[in-house]
Amino acid sequence: MKRFENKVVMVAGGASGIGAATSEAFAREGAQVVVADIQDAAGHSLVEGLVGAGGRALYLHCDCTDAGQVEKTVAQVIADCGGLDVAANVLGGAHRDDVPGSTLHNTSDEAYDSTMAISLGSIFMLMKHQVSHMMTHGGGVIVNVSSMASLAAEKHATLAYGIAKAGLNHLTRFAAADYARYNIRVNAILPGITATPMLRNNFSEDEIIEMCAGQQAIVRPVEPYEQANTILWLASEEAAMITGVLLPVDGGRSAFGMQGPPASAVARDLIRA
């Protein structure tokens, strides 16, 4: 029997990148997958592929920064699929002006508010309705996607995004503590450099490897399916005693205390490569 046979899984932000890989992975493991996103063309195409491969999936349009749409979409998942067992909240992004190297004094109110809405407010609203159902239906599992940028101030990070994801970490732990008595587990993964289509569209392979060499123990990017596999494990019964955990999936970046590997280690690994 597949790990998520007869389970209903909502993947918010599930149409592209880590979200799409997560939708695909849950479908392969037998889940009824609901992809909720604003990328309609990508979402419909993904779902068509999942159904064509023998999976069970549907797509729902949802702007997760809109409280009304979030409430309606979670309710529709429950109505259409008969419940909600697992939620993977794979959401995040920054306003166009919240750029790497942004600082407090030059971050606009618009950039801050927009980034917070996308990367924290959306997941707050999703979780509010997800746990409300799970509390009265035997429990469930929520896995959020945070970021390594949530753990420390970084020279090339974006200010508002880092703040939002740090808030998501705290939200994850608060929810884990509050809802364990309802048999609800809540965890988050913290992706490092991940080879999403967006990353590969903006950087060459050599540039990506150079970024990894400066930050990680394993000198290659994490693949989206590797992030998805971690989400599936946290959502599975194999992780039944794990809740409130912020799990880096970062190629060993956190082993260096967020400062990156020493120069000697980088040189050694590049020579080996």
Note whether residue 173 is domain-resident: yes
User: For residue 238, what pLDDT is reported?
Assistant: 98
Q: What is the rounded distance in angstroms from the CA atom of residue 166 to the CA atom of residue 146? A: 8
Positions of E strands within 71-133: 86-89
Q: What is the rounded distance in angstroms from the CA atom of residue 223 to the CA atom of residue 87? A: 21
User: For residue 267, what pLDDT is reported?
Assistant: 40
The catalytic residue positions are 161
Give percent above pLDDT 90 in the chain: 67
DSSP class of residue 194 equals B
Whether residue 134 contacts residue 74, with contact meaning beta carbons closer than 8 Å, is answered with no
Listed residue (176, 196, 192) closest to 184, CA to CA: 176
Note whether residue 271 is domain-resident: no
- pTM for this model (two decimals): 0.92
Residue 134's H or E segment, with its range, is helix 122-135
Residue bearing the bigger pLDDT, 88 or 94: 88
Distance from the first to the final alpha carbon of the chain: 40
Rounded CA Rg of the chain: 18
Residues in the chain: 273
- Neighbour order of strands in the sheet with 246-249: 56-61, 32-37, 8-12, 86-89, 140-145, 184-191, 246-249
Q: What is the rounded distance in angstroms from the CA atom of residue 28 to the CA atom of residue 100? A: 36
What single-letter amino acid sits at 104?
A: L
Note whether residue 146 is domain-resident: yes
Interval 110-128 mean pLDDT: 95
Mean pLDDT of the chain: 91
Token match 């979402």: residue?
A: 43
Q: Which domain holds residue 31?
A: 8-197+221-252
Kindly report the CATH number assigned to the domain that includes residue 178.
3.40.50.720
Interval 193-206 mean pLDDT: 86
Distances (CA, A) of 191 to 8, 33, 74, 118, 213: 24, 22, 25, 17, 16
Note whether residue 90 is domain-resident: yes
Q: Is the pLDDT score of 265 beyond 80?
A: no
Query: How many folded domains does the chain comprise?
Result: 1
Note whether residue 213 is domain-resident: no
Note whether residue 270 is domain-resident: no
Note whether residue 267 is domain-resident: no
Note whether residue 153 is domain-resident: yes
